[in-house]
Chains A and B, each alone.
Chain A
Amino acid sequence: MPTQNPSDDRIALLQGTLDLLILRTLVFGPCHGQGVARSIQRQSEEVLFVDHGSLYLALQRLEDKKWIRARWGTSENNRRARFYELTPKGRAQLDEKTSQWNRLTEAMGRILNAAGPQNEEV
């Protein structure tokens, strides 16, 4: 496992969010694993940290669920790579998970950002 420096301000991903991020990344077209990892890190402006081992297991999990499919091809730097793309089923899942996520973050935000007294009751 990659050891994380405690002073590292990157955030390890919450359970279950990696799947959603992968699906989202693949909306823009087929991509190989390393591309997906880079893309997530870049798009989150280096805030999110993707554990590569977990990434590949997640990819395999999504493939097993038939949300994405994979085939070997040649990358832009002329190397063999395994390219992943969304299936229709995966696209539908992405929509559903995205709306779920939005509702969750909204709710979380409401609670976490609300002012004072109720907090003590909880």
Chain B
Amino acid sequence: MFRRHRSEDDFAAEIRSHLEHEADDLRQEGIASDEAPFRARRTFGNVRAAQESFYLRGRWSWLDRLLRDLRFGLRSMRQSPGFTITAVLTLALGIGANTAVFSVMNAVLLRSLPVADPQRVVYLNTSGQPDGAGTIDTNETFSYAVYTALRPPNGALSDLMAVGLLSGDKIGIRIGSVPEQAEADMVSGNFFSGLGVHILRGRGFDEQDESTSASVLVLSYDYWSSRFGRDPSVLGSTIDVKGVPFTVTGIAAQGFEGVEPTHSTDFWIPLQNRPEFNVLGNPPEKGKLYQADPTWWCLRLIGRLAPGVTRAQALARLQPIFEHASRTGLGNPMPGERPLVLSFFDPKNFAGYDQMYGKPLHMLMAMVGLVLLIALTNLIMLLMARNTARQREFSLRLALGARPAELLRQLLTESVLLVLLGGALAWAFAVLSTRVLARWALIESSLAPDRTVLLFTCGILALSALVLGIAPFRTAISGGAELALKTSAATAHTDHGKSRLSKAIVALQMALCVVLLVGAGLLTRTLLNLRNINLGMNPTGVVVFNLNPPSVPHTQPQLSHFYDGLEARLRTLPGVESTAVSSTRLGSWWSNNSDVMVDGKHGETPDGKTILVRMNDIGPNFFHTLQIPILLGREFNAADGASGHHVAIVSQLFADTFFPHQNPLGHQVNGFTIIGVVANHKYRSMNEDPIPMAWWDYAQGPGEGEMTVEMRVRGADPLSILPSVQKVVAQLDPNAPLIQPMLQLQQFETTISQQLLFARLAEFFGLLAVVLIATGLYGTLSYRVNRRTAEIGVRMAIGARRGQVLWMILRDSLILTAVGVVLGLPLAFLTGRALATSLYGVHPLDPLTYALSIVGVALVALAAGALPALRAASIDPLQALRTE
């Protein structure tokens, strides 16, 4: 039906042949030779009608009309490639930006965990921990005792799942002979069944796996794809996890990336009750693992509501059990200690990240919304201009009997074509850009657009097509059929209302441009400020990596022995200037905080408040390697560890806080003698305020599982030393991969990645808006100049100078700019205020940013106006008048 085998020409030829044969026969029957053809024709009947029936045979007439409209649309797009390319690109950028930001927003704020019936799944949240308990996250982690208490059937939850982190980052594993790192969680036996996560191959875990600490392992689909190339034979094979062999028994369904926000888990193992797998890889606290230690709140708990139970009912039933369980093994509460309160929150993919990403994302969404608005107004103006130029065509068609509805159909078809092309490009743009965004924001989870995003995009596309089809309709038919009879180009542009509308649109765009430039400017200043933060050290050229050698017991002096040997070998590598170790990596958000005893007294402020101190266990040469200035005394050396003389180093702020106007050397912290004072520097993140710090010699501590190694390396690419480092480590322990190797500076930048991302995006969209506005303005102005060719010709013929013409055109765009700026400034003030929390080191009303933005807008206007103005001024009056 859609494929026609025969052309109409062929059919026509057959009819001609028929007529000839008929004439031949008629001649034979005695009809006069010149009469025969006419007779043949007469007998045949209506040839045209037959041909038309042939043409319509088996077609759907609406489809045919649509195809004709499409063909016509494509033809007219081909005829003006400049217009088509501009329009499609504008749409692609405008819609693509929205799709990209929306898919990030969807992934971060809207999308639920990919589990069965996610509305019934809740993350358990506590108001805090009992005094004296340690925690990973104040609100999101619980003790094993709470887990076991809430777990038995209680009419509130049908399943309670527990998740324990094996490490703060990645853990060392070995597949075959080479050690590597992977992201893994240990989970309760009902983890997959309770969440309703389908196991693609093999089996998930059960209660017995948990109770026996079974050495079995389930891979995530992504890890299975990326690491094993979806090889099904991986089932049953062995993976060494922290030196312990585990058997792969299952592969989880595609799309499930675990329950850790922004991370994608590579594999899961059942909860383990053995020292190698204490939560976070910590050494046992007073000989107790996490399962026996009620003071360590380290498990994330996820529940599935029992059928028919509301959240409020479930909470009411769980609260008393929880309150009781939270005190297990802790004795009576301290005076004034409040009972802990349980609550639920939604199983979002990025649980708990609303705070961090919510506001910036809403701002970004507003920004790209503005960009789309600018893009659409641009296109409307472009289409209006183009359709005015096509008015003669439309008039001719009206004159030939086309109905307005048919013209509208044609315009809609053309806009749908444009929008579809733009939309396809936009989708590609969004898929690519979300990947880049995820890398910038250091988010491992997928931000890729999904079905919700597709729906959103289709909505925008439909709206755009409608707006772009209808908006120019008025212009198209305004000429009426009679315009076809007129000849002068000048007759068409006498409509003042229309030019006022386009002026208003340009002014509006200018206002939006001011807003976006101010926003982008403020955030760029923030970006620069963040970049230029003085870290109090020289992180350039420092390579860091973590190690957790399975072969080394987490006790002293074995650890010191291992790291001393390692450092000695590393220092022999070419380019290595110095090395050090620390138990907490700088710039990793982690810190070990506690109150301290200073000279035997509780360290507090003069008004009696406890002062928290950050602490880190470090080895010799730490400050030397990071180039942190030592103000007084010295840093640790190899002799300190063995001497047994307990020593400490403090920061300048520590000294100023606890020993104002005194020499701190020789004073005691927690019974350790202060031997040195170092300058304040950034510790946890880049944009923090300093707090007092103290350092201990790790050789004198209990011994930590995982340590960070810092190395100062010469050369343009310090990271190129990693392969030789891996070789050195392998000589000491073949099962120890380098965990999270990177530059110390990169590590610090991860702590401002969200601000960096936001600022970069804002810069990008600001720039995009400026480009769109510049092209739009250029298009509008040059179009106006074109329409005034005759007028300019007349003016120049009667004596106007080129300078006057130039000014006349430029003045037009400068007036519009001024109006736009006046409109835009108050809006920009509001934007600056809304951005205030995202800014660093720059005031929301920063005059420089505002001044630069206004200059920027004026430059855009000048640049866009200059070309058409110059062209107008160079019009040859004779030529111009002749075109009439």
Contacts and interface: CB of A to CB of B under 8 A. Distances in A.
Nearest to B50: A53
A34 B18 contact: yes
Contact of B44 (A38, A52, A64): A52
Interface in B37-69: 43-47, 49-50, 53-54, 57-58
A51 B47 CA distance: 11
Given A57-B54, A60-B6, A82-B17, A52 B43 contact: yes
Given A1-B45, A51-B45, A56 B54 contact: yes
A20 interface: no
B58 A64 contact: yes
A53 B17 contact: no
A34 B53 contact: no
B716 to A, nearest CB: 73
Contacts of A37: 18
Given A34-B22, A57-B54, A79 B45 contact: no
B21 A79 contact: yes
Given A56-B15, A60-B54, A60-B57, A34 B46 contact: no
Given A1-B45, A81-B17, A57 B50 contact: yes
A73 to B, nearest CB: 11
A57 B17 contact: no
Interface in A81-101: 81-82
A92 to B, nearest CB: 22
A75 B21 contact: yes
Given A2-B45, A53-B45, A56-B11, A79 B20 contact: yes
A77 interface: yes
B21 A53 contact: no
A24 interface: no
Contacts of B54: 56-57, 60
Interface string A5-39: 00000000000000000000000000011110110
A103 interface: no
A86 B194 CA distance: 69
A116 to B, nearest CB: 42
Contacts of B6: 60
A106 to B, nearest CB: 34
A10 to B, nearest CB: 12
A41 B280 CA distance: 98
Given A60-B6, A64-B58, A52 B21 contact: no
B758 to A, nearest CB: 63
A43 B282 CA distance: 105
A2 B42 CA distance: 8
Nearest to A35: B21
Contacts of B450: none
A111 to B, nearest CB: 34
Interface centre among A34, A51, A75, A77 (most CB of B within 10 A): A34
Contacts of A2: 43-46
Contacts of B17: 32-34, 75, 79-82
Nearest to B20: A79
B25 interface: yes
A33 B14 contact: yes
Contacts of B25: 34, 38
Nearest to B24: A77
A35 B50 CA distance: 18
Contact of A32 (B11, B21, B57): B21
Contacts of A51: 45
Contacts of A38: 25
Contacts of B11: 56, 60
Contact of A34 (B13, B21, B49, B57): B21
A35 B17 CA distance: 11
A40 to B, nearest CB: 13
B57 A57 contact: yes
Interface string B1-37: 0000110000101110110111011000000000000
Nearest to B4: A64
A32 B19 CA distance: 12
B49 A1 contact: yes
B24 A53 contact: no
Contacts of B47: 53
B49 to A, nearest CB: 6
A52 B14 CA distance: 12
Contacts of B22: 34
B18 A52 contact: yes
Contacts of B49: 1, 53
A88 to B, nearest CB: 20
Nearest to A36: B18
A53 B52 CA distance: 10
A81 B49 CA distance: 21
B14 to A, nearest CB: 5
Contacts of A34: 17-18, 21-22, 25
A44 to B, nearest CB: 16
Contacts of B53: 53, 57
Given A2-B45, A64-B5, 17 more contacts: A1-B49, A33-B17, A34-B17, A34-B21, A34-B22, A52-B44, A52-B50, A53-B46, A53-B47, A56-B18, A56-B54, A57-B53, A60-B54, A77-B24, A79-B17, A80-B17, A81-B14
28 contacts: A1-B45, A1-B49, A2-B44, A2-B45, A32-B17, A32-B18, A33-B14, A33-B18, A35-B21, A38-B25, A52-B18, A52-B43, A53-B44, A53-B46, A53-B50, A56-B18, A57-B50, A57-B54, A60-B57, A61-B57, A75-B17, A77-B21, A79-B17, A79-B21, A80-B13, A81-B14, A81-B17, A81-B21
Interface of B: 5-6, 11, 13-15, 17-18, 20-22, 24-25, 43-47, 49-50, 53-54, 57-58
Which 4 pairs from chain A and chain B are nearest by CB? Answer: A53-B50, A2-B45, A34-B21, A34-B18
